[in-house]
Structure 1
Amino acid sequence: MSGRLARFALWLYRWGGVALYPVVGPYLALRVAKGKEDRARRRERYGVASAARPAGPLVWFHAASVGETNALVPLIREVRRRGIAVLLTTGTVTSAKIVAERLGDTVVHQYVPLDVKPAVSRFLEYWHPDLAVVAESEIWPMTILELGARRIPQVLVNGRISDRSFERWKRRPAFADALFENFALVVAQSEGDAERFRALGALPVLVSGNLKVDTDAPPVDRAVLRTYLDQIGERRTWAAISTFEGEEEAVANVHRALRPRTGLLTILVPRHPERADAIEEMLKARGLKVARRTRNDPLTPETDIFLGDTIGEMGLYLRLTELAFVGRSLAGEGGQNPLEPAMLGCAVLSGSNVQNFRDTYQTLVAGGGARIVRDVEMLAKGVHYLLMNDDRRKQMIEAGQESVQEMRGALRATVKGLEPYINPLTVKARLHPRQPG
């Protein structure tokens, strides 16, 4: 694609969004009906603010969902420590709850505007941020172009590009260059990600490591944790977390194979809890007794599967075991982040499809904190071996925690990269402090 064609494609994207803007309402209404939008705050998706803009300099952070939100929390706290106001946008109802729990009223939260010109323009005209910081792989053409037109610096932090996304961008190099050249800075998770961003036209690009390593361990309600630990007693447990369709059947097969020999309790946490009803039906059809977190079902000696059908409680589920299989890696594609289980003291098992977290898995496997399994049979053997060999399991746990510790430092590197943009705002904030009230 030539530069002229790329500019034409962006022009079509811009004005196509304007043309489609009047019919966005039914789309949002459908998402509200599915519980994917906050009905009371739906207008925020049109760029209509529901809160007052703080006085003084303002940094706009954007995180798509829960994982990205958690990764940004330490960085946001560092910016707030300097007296700079923060606007944080997210794209999901769940991530909005995480913001309220972890950051409270220290930031202004809004839902991110739809990537169409009327919504983005309205949003930027009202909030007028001094700096925009987006997390991981959030590339929204209209938002990028509108920020560029206003000469608002844009920084991508904790940046990563999956194999599939990179191949798509490579097929449209002029289009990629027209977008990525708008970033004042890209802070990538790994050298491999950095090379990909450079190939797509981003400059300068720094490498920080993964911000998720520098986050706090997922929180837990200690009273709830104690209740479940008491109910579990001496039973052996393992967890299958962030599972995708097809993997729950594999987990059921592993449980049925091992329960007679181990008295096993399996903790199953699907990536999308809205699938819980269908998953429970499948498990019951296989003769398994299911307890669900949303029903506060007790874990009795007869319980086979504890179905973790909530969001934001991974800190609970992982503290109930010392062994975790991380999903989207056997039946799914790309894998899920293994850092939380390693951080919380779990030996980690995963399928081989972990392209999206390749560097993290390479570090954990090399250090001895994680193992890759090829199929369900190998998963069952791995679970059985680690459950029955306490010393080997504990060695893996210690190795995983050592690897996590070695990977720390991304927050410090990211803050250093951002200093040319946030230091002037720090001075401005100190010269003109916000008035209370």
Structure 2
Amino acid sequence: MSRFVYTLIFYLALPLVVLRLLYRAWRAPAYARRWHERFGLSLPPFPASKSSGKAIWVHTVSVGESIAAAPLVKRLIAMYPKHQVVVTTMTPTGSEQVRKLYGDTVYHVYAPYDLPGAISRFLNHIKPELAVVMETELWPNTIAACHNRNIPVLLTNARLSERSARGYGRLGSLTRNMLQKLSFIAAQSEDDARRFTELGFPRARMQVTGTLKYDLVISDVLKQEGQTLREQWLTGRSQQARIFIAASTHPGEDEQILEAFKEIRRTLPDILLVLVPRHLERFDPVYGLLKNEGWQVSRRSTNDTVTPDTDVLLGDTMGELLRMYATADLAFVGGSLVEHGGHNPLEPAALGLPIVSGPHVFNFTEVTATMENAGALTTVHSSSELARHAQMIFTNEQAAQKAGSNALGVMNKNRGALDRQLMLAQALIS
């Protein structure tokens, strides 16, 4: 497929894109705000303190990528104080996470749709000296526009699963031409590098740097906030009370979590489940599911009091996942009991938590294998397996501490991607 054909299809599909945005806005009102930014229109000016006009653009997608990019973004802010660091996202949850991470220290807007006019208006406004794209957020027209303006593009923390590689491969010349316009790729692993090479990217312009996710550092402030919440949520419960968090869950997974929770409660009646759906448009449906099944539910978004009678705390706020992890004794990482591909297990690992996951982790194959081999993560294949493992962790303090210590050990052993990726960004800027 040529880029011309791709662009034509995108324009023809634009009414469907808008309808999808309307649908998501109906499910989650935050999608109804700031539409103009998605078309590169009416973008706010840079603050007066950044009058040099120099900018570095970092593109993330949603919450996970925003958190992963945070160490790199903060170092870029410190190293280039005269530059305006621009951080774009695609989702309201990502936008909220950027606000929580940086406040007013970065310029944040939604990334423009991959249409020539929208991209042109966006680039005319921010005039970046470098574009840093996180993981695999590849858009043909965006990359071509940067290439035509001599803006170097660094695909950093890059990962490419076998499934994604097959999808890109089916696009033939469109993928090949797009990849060749990238300036450099910082791949997470040798397998990722191999897949990019097989799709047509020159190996000479690629370096395996590891993943930024290992460089995540949890602040003492956040840890203390988590402990304060934990004390509040467990007030009035027995000494055997524990907190089990199931994070970033997807449709078809919440039901399995709740089945496991029923089994856990048969022998450990004082466990509190913190259930955090992945997308904000799922908050109300999951609340409905919980109520229909007869659970006593508190909602985080409305600051409901968590009492000794509360069965489930619904984590229906944005940008609070790390704080909620910091309350827990065991973390289940979602998107893995259903065929979504899993989410980042290194966030609970950075807090020293025992971690459990389902088998569908193709988005994090190498990270999951590393953690499992180190005894930091356990894979389960069903709700009954999940229940049995949780019961063991909650009743065996030595096993829980060992798994948590192993998780921290994996994090400390694999740090360093930040410095390697930062050096690549510096070289492209200069």
TM-score by length of 1: 0.88
CA distance in structure 2 between the partners assigned to 1:390 and 1:20 by the alignment = 55
Checking the alignment, whether the CA contact within 8 Å between 1:62 and 1:135 is kept in structure 2 is: yes
| Cα separation, partners in 2 of 1:169 and 1:231, compared to 1, 3 Å | closer
Mapping of 1:287-326 within 5 angstroms? 287-326=294-333
Match of 1:232 in 2: 234
* Alignment match of 2:284 (pick from 277, 288, 297): 277
| Cα separation, partners in 2 of 1:274 and 1:14, compared to 1, 3 Å | closer
CA distance in structure 1 between the partners assigned to 2:209 and 2:385 by the alignment = 35
Query: What is the identity, as a one-letter code, of the residue corresponding to 1:114?
Result: Y
> For each residue in 1:56-101, what CA deviation from the matched residue of structure 2 results, as whole angstroms up to 9, or x when unmatched?
4321111111111122222122222222322221112222222222
Pair 1:350 & 2:357 matched? yes
Checking the alignment, whether the CA contact within 8 Å between 1:36 and 1:93 is kept in structure 2 is: no
Match of 1:427 in 2: none
Q: Number of paired residues?
A: 416
The DSSP-based 3-state class of the residue aligned with 1:398 is: helix
CA distance in structure 1 between the partners assigned to 2:97 and 2:316 by the alignment = 17
Checking the alignment, whether the CA contact within 8 Å between 1:243 and 1:270 is kept in structure 2 is: yes
Which shows bigger deviation, 36-45 or 230-239? 36-45
Query: What is the identity, as a one-letter code, of the residue corresponding to 2:168?
Result: W
The alpha carbon displacement at 1:228 in A equals: 4.2
Match of 1:331 in 2: 338
> For each residue in 1:222-259, what CA deviation from the matched residue of structure 2 results, as whole angstroms up to 9, or x when unmatched?
56752542341431221111111122111211221221
Query: What is the identity, as a one-letter code, of the residue corresponding to 1:168?
Result: G
| Cα separation, partners in 2 of 1:373 and 1:154, compared to 1, 3 Å | same
Q: Which runs of 5+ in 2 are unaligned?
A: none
The DSSP-based 3-state class of the residue aligned with 1:246 is: coil
CA distance in structure 1 between the partners assigned to 2:20 and 2:331 by the alignment = 37
Q: Which runs of 5+ in 1 are unaligned?
A: 1-5, 425-437
Which shows bigger deviation, 14-23 or 50-59? 14-23
Match of 1:62 in 2: 59
Query: What is the identity, as a one-letter code, of the residue corresponding to 1:215?
Result: L
Pair 1:52 & 2:45 matched? yes
- The structure with the larger Rg is 1
CA distance in structure 2 between the partners assigned to 1:95 and 1:213 by the alignment = 20
The alpha carbon displacement at 1:188 in A equals: 0.9
The alpha carbon displacement at 1:139 in A equals: 0.8
* Alignment match of 1:14 (pick from 7, 15, 18): 7
Checking the alignment, whether the CA contact within 8 Å between 1:21 and 1:116 is kept in structure 2 is: no
TM-score by length of 2: 0.90
What value does the CA root-mean-square deviation take over the aligned residues?
Answer: 2.3
Mapping of 1:4-403 within 5 angstroms? 6=1, 9-17=2-10, 28-35=21-28, 39=32, 41-53=34-46, 54=50, 55-83=52-80, 84-203=83-202, 204-217=205-218, 220=222, 222=224, 225-233=227-235, 234=239, 235-263=241-269, 264-403=271-410
